[in-house]
Amino acid sequence: MDRLLFRSIQTRRKLEMIYLSADNQTSYRVIRVTGVNAHTVTAYCFTRRQIRTFKKDNILSIGPVRVGKPGA
Q: Which amino acid is at 67?
A: V
35 located within any domain: yes
Domain residue limits at 21: 2-63
56, part of any domain: yes
**CATH code: domain of residue 55:** 2.30.30.100
Quick check: is 51 in a domain? Answer: yes
Which of these, 40, 67, 44, 71, lies nearest to 54 by C-alpha position? 40
Model pLDDT for residues 22-58, shown as the tens digit of each residue: 899 999 999 999 999 999 999 999 999 999 999 999 9
> Residue 30 burial (CB < 10 Å; 0-12/13-18/19+)?
middle
Number of domains in the chain: 1
Distance from C-alpha of 58 to C-alpha of 68, rounded to nearest angstrom: 27
Task: Assign 70 a pLDDT band (cuts: 50, 70, 90).
Answer: low
Question: Which residues on adjacent β-strands are paired with residue 52?
Answer: 43
- Residue 72 domain-assigned? no
